[in-house]
């Protein structure tokens, strides 16, 4: 591959059925045994009750939801610069920016939560504020910051104490200082003992003695009695005066309101739009738990890495997660008609006329010489039984029967008993809404100007089927509007009698269904004896009929 692969998502279709979920999990397991990357199963929607039963029965959690494969912030080169403490001096922050060549730093608390941003322009503005002489006391600066900024030495005092009052002043001579010193002031002085003494006697809170000059012993004793801090610095008075305001903590100048930040899950497209309206160059990134994890810049958006995906149980754009055109498709494994997905280059595409994707994956396990664990075998068995309606569907082949028999042997399940339990779980309507049942196994089909959707539910008893019809039937109009489709149909399939009651909604739908299946369709309902397969018995005649109608 031309670019590094962080991981590969294995994804089934939207509104996933049991095959879509179980095949993704099984194939991810297989690829992790034989591949060179990290493969993770994902789901593109809410799992049905049937699928939930299967996962619980064999001890699996639901795969993580994925609704789009557009590049996200996590697919960028995030600069993993640690957050800084809010007590860090402006000078230290500036030095760090210079060293790492980054003009913005995130400020975080002990829990690594973002509390502010400090940019180089904020430091520049503070440095230019030359007439503000109370900056250190106003920001309760620690003496330790002063020592660190001035590369000084703490001769007397507590480095953790804070400057809580006074101005920064330059001490020249007792004559010039007379009447200008206020209690708590920080005085920059040189080696003149009389100046040092005068400052302490008049209430200075701190002496900063420049040029590493000596401190008179009497002055030091007086400072101790008057609780005056004494610091020496190698810098001369000019440099010290220029530097000392940079001792203030970053919290005094950091941005705290209206911070533009992104989650690792924010799409790159959305982030670009935000950045375009901002004057900032760098933006903090929060991980999935909301904690700070790094910085991204506008230039980094140009190098977003595509997500790498493997598609199972579908190969149509309308059934895929959003953003597939911005992803790198590596493989497709399916058992449906060849659909509308296009790839930027050659991919490994395996499509076989069998009843279930897991049947194909069963063969790949054998081809790769990988033993199927019992729990994985249970998932694959469930997928085959679900897609073939326990071998009753016309899509079922001898390969499906053989695979299911072998998988049942591996996982120790009785096929008939387990199939009944699985279908019963799927048809349970307790606490379910019409919308949930409608979307539990719903697919959109498109060809040219023809667009429609077909849902399907499988039921072991007439009572459960009729209850589902009563619940979902009135919702079809809303379902069509939600999916933005001119026509939707729903198959209520009786597994044991192999009959489907078709309910539908859309302009001209009665005529379409009548022509497609040669039955008496009226008032949004038709009975289709022997019809159980959406893929083989419903989609082809519907598509042909609608295309013919458009040509007439």
Task: Using a pLDDT cut of 70, give the percent of the chain over it.
Answer: 98
Asked whether the predicted pLDDT for residue 374 surpasses 90, the reply is yes
**Sheet with 168-170: strands ordered across:** 153-156, 229-232, 206-209, 186-189, 168-170
Mean pLDDT across the stretch 354-378?
97
Per-residue pLDDT tens over the stretch 478-512:
999 999 999 999 999 998 899 999 999 999 999 99
Q: Quick one: pLDDT band at residue 325, thresholds 50, 70, 90?
A: confident
pLDDT at 300: 66
How is residue 170 written in tokens?
């330059």
99 class by beta-carbon count within 10 Å (0-12 exposed, 13-18 middle, 19+ buried): exposed
Per-residue pLDDT tens over the stretch 307-320:
899 999 999 988 99
pLDDT at 496: 86
pLDDT at 487: 97
pLDDT at 4: 66
pLDDT at 1: 39
16 class by beta-carbon count within 10 Å (0-12 exposed, 13-18 middle, 19+ buried): buried
Q: 477, 418, 488: which is closest to 451 by C-alpha?
A: 488
- The mean of the pLDDT values for the chain is 92
Determine the Cα–Cα distance for residues 51 and 466; give it in Å rounded to an integer: 21
Q: What is the distance, to the nearest Å, from the Cα of residue 334 to the centroid of all Cα atoms in its chain?
A: 27
Per-residue pLDDT tens over the stretch 86-144:
999 999 999 999 999 888 999 999 999 999 999 999 999 888 877 788 999 999 999 99
Q: Could you count the other beta carbons within 10 Å of the beta carbon of residue 412?
A: 10
Please identify which residue in the block is written with the tokens 């101790």: 224
Per-residue pLDDT tens over the stretch 84-101:
999 999 999 999 999 998
In order of start, what are the domains of the chain with their CATH numbers? 8-71+307-426 (3.90.1640.10), 74-126+252-303 (3.10.580.10), 140-247 (3.40.1390.20), 434-551 (3.10.310.20)
pLDDT at 2: 45
Task: Using a pLDDT cut of 90, give the percent of the chain over it.
Answer: 74
Residues contacting residue 17 through CB under 8 Å, at least 6 positions apart: 48, 50, 51, 313, 386, 387, 440, 441
pLDDT at 278: 76
Calculated CA dihedral for residues 378, 380, 385, 391, nearest 10 degrees: -120
Q: Could you count the other beta carbons within 10 Å of the beta carbon of residue 68?
A: 17
pLDDT at 302: 64
Strands 525-529 and 499-506: antiparallel
Per-residue pLDDT tens over the stretch 2-33:
456 779 999 999 989 999 999 999 999 999 99
């Amino acid at each position: 591959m031309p670019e590094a692969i962080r991981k590969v998502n294995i994804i089934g279709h939207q509104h996933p059925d049991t095959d879509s979920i179980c095949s993704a999990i099984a194939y991810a397991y297989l690829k992790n045994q034989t591949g060179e990357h990290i493969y993770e199963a994902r789901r593109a929607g809410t799992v049905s009750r049937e699928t939930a039963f299967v996962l619980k029965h064999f001890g699996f959690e639901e795969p993580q939801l994925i609704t789009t494969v557009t590049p996200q912030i996590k697919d960028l080169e995030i600069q993993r610069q640690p957050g800084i403490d809010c007590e860090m001096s402006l000078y230290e922050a500036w030095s760090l920016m210079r060293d790492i060549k980054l003009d913005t730093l995130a400020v975080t608390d002990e829990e690594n939560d973002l509390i502010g941003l400090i940019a180089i322009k904020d430091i520049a503005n503070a440095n230019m504020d030359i007439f503000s002489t109370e900056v250190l006391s106003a920001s309760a600066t620690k003496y330790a910051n002063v020592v660190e900024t001035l590369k000084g030495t703490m001769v007397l005092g507590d480095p953790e104490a804070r400057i809580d009052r006074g101005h920064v002043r330059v001490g020249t001579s007792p004559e010039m200082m007379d009447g200008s010193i206020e209690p708590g002031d920080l005085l920059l002085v040189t080696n003149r003992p009389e100046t040092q003494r005068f400052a302490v006697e008049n209430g200075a809170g701190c002496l900063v003695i420049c040029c590493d000059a000596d401190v008179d012993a009497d002055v030091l004793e007086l400072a101790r009695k008057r609780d005056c801090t004494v610091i020496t610095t190698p810098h001369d008075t000019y440099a010290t005066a220029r530097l000392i305001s940079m001792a203030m903590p970053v919290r005094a100048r950091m941005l705290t309101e209206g911070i533009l930040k992104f989650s690792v899950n924010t799409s790159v497209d959305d982030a670009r739009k935000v950045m375009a309206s901002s004057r900032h160059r760098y933006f903090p990134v929060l991980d999935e738990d909301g904690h700070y994890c790094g910085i991204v810049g506008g230039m980094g958006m140009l190098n977003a890495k595509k997500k790498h995906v493997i598609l199972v149980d579908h190969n149509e754009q309308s059934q895929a997660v959003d953003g597939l055109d911005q992803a790198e498709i590596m493989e497709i494994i399916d058992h449906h008609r060849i659909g509308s997905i296009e790839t930027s280059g050659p991919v490994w595409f395996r499509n076989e006329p069998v009843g279930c994707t897991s049947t194909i994956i069963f063969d790949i396990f054998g081809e790769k010489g990988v033993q199927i664990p019992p729990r994985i075998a249970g998932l694959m068995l469930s997928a085959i039984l679900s897609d073939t309606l326990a071998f009753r569907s016309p899509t079922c082949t001898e390969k499906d029967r053989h695979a299911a028999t072998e998988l049942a042997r591996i996982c120790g399940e009785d096929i008939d008993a387990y199939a009944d339990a699985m279908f019963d779980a799927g048809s349970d309507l307790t606490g379910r809404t019409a919308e949930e049942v409608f979307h539990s196994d719903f697919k959109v089909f498109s060809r040219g100007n023809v667009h429609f959707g077909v849902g399907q539910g499988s039921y072991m008893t007439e009572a459960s089927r009729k209850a589902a019809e009563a619940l979902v039937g009135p919702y079809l109009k809303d379902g069509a509007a939600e999916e933005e489709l001119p026509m939707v149909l729903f198959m209520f399939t009786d597994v044991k009698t192999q009959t489907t009651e078709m309910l539908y909604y859309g302009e001209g739908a009665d005529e379409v269904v009548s022509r497609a299946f040669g039955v008496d369709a009226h008032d949004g309902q038709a009975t289709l004896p022997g019809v159980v397969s959406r893929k083989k018995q419903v989609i082809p005649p519907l598509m042909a009929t609608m295309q013919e109608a458009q040509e007439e």
